[in-house]
Amino acid sequence: MIIKIYWSMKRIQLFIKYVLGFYIFIASIYWIFIRPQHISWGATASEINRKIPGGELISTNRIFSTRAINIHAAREKIWPWIAANLRHFTVRIY
C-alpha cells in the first residue's frame, strides 16, 4: 500500500513537472515571437518610434503598444464617419 502511494505521488510530481515545463515553454514562445506582433500590429517602425504629445507624462516603466490600420480613402470621407461614430470608440489608458 505504501509503495502504491509512493508511486502515485511520483507520477503526480512528474505530471506537475511536465505541465509546468510545457507552460513555461508556451509562455516563452508567446513572449518572444507572438507578443511583439500583438503590441505593434499594423504600425510601421516610424509610427512606433514617433514621439507623441504628452508622451513625457507617461511613466517609462510601462508597456507601450502602437496599433494602426491603413484606410485607402480621402480624409474628407473618413473624418465625418469617425466624428459620427466617435461615441462607439473607447480609449483606455491605465
For residue 14, tell me if it sits in a domain: yes
For residue 24, tell me if it sits in a domain: yes
Transcribe 23-35 into DSSP letters: HHHHHHHIIIIIH
For residue 94, tell me if it sits in a domain: no
| Residue 90's pLDDT band (cuts 50, 70, 90) | low
Mean pLDDT (whole number) for 46-61: 78
pTM, 2 dp: 0.55
For residue 21, tell me if it sits in a domain: yes
Q: What phi-psi label fits residue 42: left (phi over 0), alpha (psi between -120 and 50 degrees) or beta? A: left
Q: Residue 66: name the closest of 43, 93, 35, 45 by CA.
A: 43
Burial tier of 86 (Cβ tally within 10 Å: 0-12, 13-18, 19+): exposed
- Number of structural domains found in the chain: 1
For residue 38, tell me if it sits in a domain: yes
Percent over 90 (pLDDT), the chain: 23
For residue 29, tell me if it sits in a domain: yes
For residue 93, tell me if it sits in a domain: no
For residue 42, tell me if it sits in a domain: yes
